[in-house]
Structure 1
């Protein structure tokens, strides 16, 4: 793969004795093309995505011009091609995608082609969690018993997935009993900054994804851009096609203060959900900012991001900061990976600190965390808070 680099943003970054190439958004600022400090962090990630994937066919200079001209206060009804770095699947919606790929291999063979040419183009991880049932409980060996029954009950499915993992490139299956798909993504699969080889270069770029579950947005709490899509859309991305989307409006949610003693992440997320439902954020990005982020651990951020479908937004995004780095260390990511994430985010202008200027948003709302009170979800809808 070669890069077009029409906007002359390809740059290098030295981290831990290694050289990484990346598409530097700050070069756009040096050229006078954008004032990056005014651009929402989530839009900066999309900018990089288009710059890196420019090929003159799927991503054109006109697409890049459209996002470089982004003004949150007046967002045009303009479609752009988003090229996620990976796809995450859960078993109910992911298995049909694997079956489709297998059928494509059969068709390739019928036309005297090479079936091995059919593979996911981008990394695709299938986490098995939705189908797992609880047959045994309250006994010491409940986990082992339930896992064994699950393999017996769905033997045909696991035979298919074992074959797929051994046959397809860029595909892996996470077995049952490992955890809920969103938690596995948060604690293990996500890297925040990814690397790949292209044209003899090692390229660093933001971790981005789409997933076949509406609560894929939980990963936004770890500063990874992504949201849930339908199975057909996910398959298209797996095969190297863009996810076409309208340039999004971005609603800024400013957090100040800190949670009072006795208030929990559940109380906070119910309050946030109620406020955003009243504001109206369907089809929009929500991005959290403000000094209150420094008081919000990553588990709380992930809880808020997970609820994006409930408050109606496409996603609820938290920028990379020291809390992100601390969580990566906590969950066993390597020192080299953490160093890369920090160095890349700082060099790219996507690292948030307490001194970071507030971006310009389409609309804003504000919450003092100290005012959050213990509450319960409504009897039918979470925003009907009690």
Structure 2
């Protein structure tokens, strides 16, 4: 009896096409089927979870946008007006918005999941961004939310985020975990001028220096620099892997959250599909470290899970050809080369 991997490759190779001619779609089909342990893979009830959180470090002039943009954008999500709303509606993806720790009182809203840990993290320029208790709570809340989605029958989930200052938090985490200079990890984020960029790098160097003694492990680094939205994404990805769901990884912020999840549980790599290469400076370097080939490279750097939503139809195409395309045998097409 052939192994499943051999059977999957044989099924792909017997389709009415030259070997390998569907390129990355073949790789994606093989991965999806492998995760699902099935020769007939399927995508069920796709979801994208967007986590929002405020960052204490954002008060230190690291962003072109004021901190109040974070709650304003959450309200935009809730009103259906953001890019992620548009793309999820277009592709039939269920969207959930989560307050992981926004510095704003949203009150009771039926379409907002309240998982708030605190009114934003603390300023990592002065102290740790979060406590060990908050870290543990955030991981659990992210995992619990994904567990509920899995119970609804979903087997594919993407993760998005919103948080002014979170590109800086992601750059700090990447720099510390990979032992890469902060200058190689940090980009312009929401659109800084050259002078603002220089100031941002200077501030982040000071943050790195303040936490120099922090061990390069995901729990310690996340507590030092992270955001609650990034923390819940990490916990959610870990749970998605435990539930054997496909994990759609978005851009820079989500990929750094994935890096933390990978540091905690290496098996998460089996389930991860990298949807696009962000235009954010550190993302290309991070993807190279992860030896990950993103499905798309469209110059996007919005976040919100938009890369997941845009890439999802490619997963549908991969599953469709795997299940519906004729084989040489069924189509009566000769495989002989003249």
**TM-score, L = length of structure 1:** 0.28
Higher RCO, 1 vs 2 (CA within 8 Å, ≥6 residues apart):
2
**Greater helix share, structure number:** 2
**TM-score, L = length of structure 2:** 0.31
**Greater strand share, structure number:** 1
